Chain A
Amino acid sequence: MGFFDRKRNLYEQQLHNKRLTIVVMAGFILFLGLLGFGFDMIMLDFFPMGTIIALALGAGTAMWSYNSGAVSVMRSTNAYPADPNNPDHRQLINVVDEMTIASGIPRPKIYIVPDKAPNAFATGKNPEDGYVAVTEGLLETLNREELQAVIAHEIAHIRNYDIRLMTIVAALVGAILLLAMMSRRMMWFGGGRRSGGGGRGGGGPVMIIVLVLWLIGIILAPIIANMMAMMVSRKREYLADATAAELTRNPNGLINALHKISGSFVKPKAIHRDAAHLCISDPFHLKREQRTGFMSDLFSTHPPINKRVEALRNMAYQYEQKQKKGEVGAG
């Protein structure tokens, strides 16, 4: 696991995450293609139909959530816009403004989620159309410095285009699940007819490999798709943490905030499972986030808190070293 655990500085971390994301996205497309292609090979006698349908389904759902995903997430959490005349909201708006200045993106729309569990998330199409939402619990729990760190993390998701990526990945997972379900249904219906017809049956070893891969594919699709999504998500969290530290020049703020958020025992009410992957800290797996280990690594949307804290401490240390040498000036 050396590849995943190596210590990286801020810029290496960003580069590494971007590369990995491309690999995972390619994996998704291949997987969708395989499901469709196998369907063609086994179920239908003409090649491109299933493949085209699979890829079109993926593209279609991705397009749909790209265009209206943010609004529907906001609606599902009952979020309301922040009010500049309320002192607490005013502070939030100020902090968001500070971070947009630091990152150089336009101010996102700011929403409050009526939920006592401390959490925050970002969504939207691109930096010009970004949304940041925090829960009421977050405003109550964190001090200004910690709030700033959390907002920096969310702004980082926006600036790094994670919001777009995560929306599309979620849609692709949905498409894969739907397709796998359809394939299984079709197999029960179509299976008999096919073995009776026999026309091109048993078309050589390539066919058998495709068949086996496809069968494994449709059976394991939900697990594999989720695992790939979680992988993208986790890497994005590390990257956003790194960017947040870069923006605030203060990794300790985020460390404290993460401890407070993950240490909260309040169960979220307004944030549903479909928005969980967007949150700064997985609202449904607080316990799991504090564990480390291979299995919990594979099935969490977020890396364990202590791994994130460790990465941040590493950055804090490097930053102090740099500052001593005078490489980081007035900032």
Chain B
Amino acid sequence: MGTIIAIAVAALLVLWVISRYNKLIRLRNQTTNGWKQIDVQLKRRHDLIPNLVNTVKGQMEFERETLESVIQARNSALNPKGVADAAEKENILTGALSKLFALVENYPQLRSNENVKQLQEELTSTENKIAFARQFYNDIATKFNTATQMFPGNIIANMFGFKAAELFEITVLTEREVPKVDLSFKKQK
């Protein structure tokens, strides 16, 4: 009788470890996938920017400085070193872009240009997608981190060498708000 109980307890323990381990694996995969989602959107943004600059260049000769700063920010964001660096560089790019769009407002011909309008919608959407992908990534990464740090999950995490995921954070406090960009000209109805 005693041995049966001992075997049952051992079996339950093994099952528990397996289910915990699988949960951590699932969360880690979701986290990695979440990061890839951000990457996809960042790449799309990097691809869209040269198009936009080329489309508005002719009309905006006097804003060369702004255009150059956008291109520069875009190029330096292409090769980030790690999550924190990527977050910072993308942030600079966001700033440069919103400055450019604010300037476009001064050029009626650009504002009514179908091409520019479409590019703006695409970039607006990409900006939002980046923000939401980041939001999703941070949520799921936090969940993963909590699961690896809380008792008894931390035992399993240590046993199998799970490391905490880095959050995609903005370090400057004033920039904590998720930027809700609406670059389109659609009038507020």
Out of B135, B169, B184, name the residue touching A144 (CB < 8 Å).
B184
Nearest chain A CB to B83 CB, angstrom units: 11
Contact between chains at A145 and B180 (CB < 8 Å): yes
Q: Is B122 positioned at the interface, with any CB of A under 8 Å from its CB?
A: yes
Secondary structure at the B interface, as helix, strand, loop or mixed, is helix
Contacts of B176 in A (CB 8 A): 323, 326, 328-330
Q: Is A101 positioned at the interface, with any CB of B under 8 Å from its CB?
A: yes
Contact between chains at A95 and B188 (CB < 8 Å): no
Q: Is A160 positioned at the interface, with any CB of B under 8 Å from its CB?
A: no
Contacts of A87 in B (CB 8 A): 114, 117-118, 121
Q: Is B125 positioned at the interface, with any CB of A under 8 Å from its CB?
A: yes
Contact between chains at B125 and A98 (CB < 8 Å): yes
Nearest chain A CB to B7 CB, angstrom units: 36
Q: Is A90 positioned at the interface, with any CB of B under 8 Å from its CB?
A: yes
- A323→B173 CA distance, assembly (Å): 11
Using CB atoms, name the residue of chain B closest to A249.
B178
Chain A contact residue count (CB 8 A cutoff): 28
Using CB atoms, name the residue of chain A closest to B91.
A330
Out of B125, B129, B178, B187, name the residue touching A331 (CB < 8 Å).
B178
Q: Is B144 positioned at the interface, with any CB of A under 8 Å from its CB?
A: no
Contact between chains at B132 and A101 (CB < 8 Å): yes
Out of A90, A98, A250, name the residue touching B129 (CB < 8 Å).
A98
Nearest chain B CB to A120 CB, angstrom units: 17
Q: Is A227 positioned at the interface, with any CB of B under 8 Å from its CB?
A: no
- A164→B140 CA distance, assembly (Å): 25
Using CB atoms, name the residue of chain B closest to A247.
B132
- A27→B137 CA distance, assembly (Å): 39
Q: With A87-B117, A144-B182 in contact, is A330–B132 under 8 Å at CB? A: no
- A260→B188 CA distance, assembly (Å): 13
Contact between chains at B117 and A323 (CB < 8 Å): no
Contact between chains at A331 and B131 (CB < 8 Å): yes
Out of A94, A143, A247, name the residue touching B188 (CB < 8 Å).
A143
Q: Is A97 positioned at the interface, with any CB of B under 8 Å from its CB?
A: yes
Q: Is B170 positioned at the interface, with any CB of A under 8 Å from its CB?
A: yes
Q: Which positions in A face B, CB cutoff 8 Å? A: 87, 90-91, 94-95, 97-99, 101-104, 141-145, 148, 247, 249-250, 260, 323, 326, 328-331
29 example contacts (A-B, Cβ-Cβ < 8 A) are as follows A87-B121, A91-B184, A94-B122, A94-B125, A98-B129, A101-B41, A101-B129, A101-B133, A102-B132, A103-B136, A104-B30, A104-B136, A141-B189, A143-B182, A143-B189, A144-B182, A144-B184, A145-B180, A249-B135, A326-B176, A329-B138, A329-B167, A330-B87, A330-B134, A330-B138, A330-B168, A331-B131, A331-B134, A331-B135
